[in-house]
Amino acid sequence: MSDRPDGTAQWSYWFPAIFVAILISVFSIQYFAAERTGRVILPVLHWLFPWATRGMLHLMHFGIRKTAHVTEFGIFSITVFRGVRAGRSGWKFNWAFTTLVIAVLYAALDEWHQSFVVLRHATPRDAAIDAIGALLAQCFVWGYATRRWPFTALFLRNAGSAKKQEEMTR
């Protein structure tokens, strides 16, 4: 017998991934094109770094936009992994591989979508950056799922000191 949930319970694990996919699609419209985000981000960067040249400000803006790609597809990758895992615990290579395939296909679909949007440009570089974000997130998921000891040791240490404090106050 499988430990995988059935029916509606299984689909509920996919809702966060679907939500993030919708957000990614929203961020792919013309209002989030570099020309539009530059109207907001560049003045803020100029205010933060008044000594920066125009070229440096544009380079920082470019970096912020590409970091957003890594971040959004990292979050997407984590939520897709949650859907693939569907309530089961641990980490399996085939879950991570399936997650990466879905993320890379969605990155390609996102770039294809952007090719039809005014002011947006579809580039393989952006799809590769998205894939890197998904891969980095899967490295984090693997580390969290298989090497929990730094996290659990911290909590166990705190739980042990709380018990000691409780015993001392009796």
pLDDT < 70 regions, the chain: 1-9, 29-36, 148-170
Q: Could you give the number of structural domains in the chain?
A: 1
**Is residue 2 assigned to a domain?**
no
Tens-place pLDDT, residues 13-49: 999 999 999 998 887 766 566 666 777 788 888 899 9
**Is residue 1 assigned to a domain?**
no
Q: What is the DSSP letter of 120?
A: -
The span from the CA of 111 to the CA of 123, in Å, is 7
**Is residue 102 assigned to a domain?**
yes
**Is residue 108 assigned to a domain?**
yes
**Is residue 104 assigned to a domain?**
yes
**Is residue 15 assigned to a domain?**
yes
**Is residue 150 assigned to a domain?**
yes
Where in the sequence is the domain holding 38, given as residue range(s)?
Answer: 7-169
pTM of whole model > 0.85? no
**Is residue 120 assigned to a domain?**
yes
